[in-house]
Structure 1
Amino acid sequence: MNGIGSRLREERERLGMTQRVFGDIGGVEPNAQGKYESGERTPKADYLAAVAARGVDSLYVLSGVRTPIPQGSLSAEEDRLLGCFRSLAAADQAAVRQLLGSLANPLPRACAPIGGPEHTLAGRLSGK
């Protein structure tokens, strides 16, 4: 499934929302949300404006192209990290992308770490 529906579902999942919650934000019933995501129906502009106000990248939903980050909008830490990333060899950049992709995709609930920060990769690395 390609197109607006799959990208809309991707954005909903990225934001960690159910179809019901997402539909409520857009002012539609859950079955309409499901039809948008399956490609059976196309959302209207007022729906897209409402979900965009809650963090959806509407340019991406419509075109498949992510909205560019405005120049100068990075924090000092983000800018430093980006500089470090850009100085890496291509193979190391690929490894970092792989790691970040793995960290960004949450584990199924049954596999999630138990306990405090010492049970997460970030917690172990920081010594917590």
Structure 2
Amino acid sequence: MFIGGDYARKFGLVQGLSLKNCASDSGNEGSVGDRIREERVRLNLSQEDLAQAGGVNRNTQGTYERGGRNPDTSYLEGVAALGVDTVYVLSGQRLLSTGLSDLEAKLVEQFRSIPDDDQRTIVRILRAMVDDAARHQK
């Protein structure tokens, strides 16, 4: 779950990367800017939405998307809270691409895009369903 600005640290997603300008264009799917734009469109967000979440102005957001500058860690932590796959932005590789079906990946993506309270509700519902299924299998 996205709790505060600690997404990357909690999940160890940016270990080994420098704290400033940690993005690189070494990924497989275009530039960092292209991937930021792709994530913004995927999440149906405006440039202003990402700029505010990342603590920058809209002009800086546009500069990121055009590839004129790479974002720093504080920006990435802020936009991660909106559901941006920051590992994908940095590396060009989706975290969910290994071990999950397309349906599972879509469910995780949708789960990550909803508020924390709703995430907790879904976890409680799933836990109850799993417990119920386990009781019926005995």
What band does the TM-score fall into relative to the shorter chain?
0.5 to 0.7
Which deviations, in whole Å up to 9, do the C-alpha atoms of 1:45-79 show, x marking residues without a partner?
010011112100001000000012686x88xxx57
Taking the aligned partners of 1:69 and 1:3, their CA distance within structure 2 comes to 19
Partner of 2:37: 9
Cα distance in 1 between the residues matched to 2:30 and 2:40: 15
Structure 2 equivalent of residue 21 of structure 1: 49
Give the unaligned 5+ runs of structure 2.
1-28, 105-138
Match of 2:75 among 47, 51, 60: 47
Structure 2 CA distance, aligned partners of 1:22 and 1:51?
Answer: 6
User: Structure 1 runs of 4+ off > 3 angstroms?
Assistant: none
- Residue type at the aligned position of 2:80: A
Structure 1: 5+ residue runs without aligned partners? 80-128
Q: TM-score, normalised by structure 1?
A: 0.53
RMSD value over aligned CA atoms?
2.3
- The count of residues paired between Structure 1 and Structure 2 equals 75
Q: CA offsets, 1:1-36, max 9 Å, x none?
A: 931000000000111111111101111000000000
Name the aligned partner's letter for residue 6 of structure 1: D
Deviation (angstroms), 1:41: 0.7
Separation in structure 1 between the aligned mates of residue 89 and residue 97 of structure 2, nearest angstrom: 16
TM-score calculated relative to the size of structure 2: 0.49
Between the aligned partners of 1:68 and 1:19, the Cα distance in structure 2 is: 25
Which position in structure 2 is the counterpart of 1:108? none
What pairs up with 1:107-126 in 2 under 5 angstroms? Answer: none
- AA at the equivalent of 1:11: E
Higher Rg: 1
Mapping of 1:62-73 within 5 angstroms? 62-68=90-96
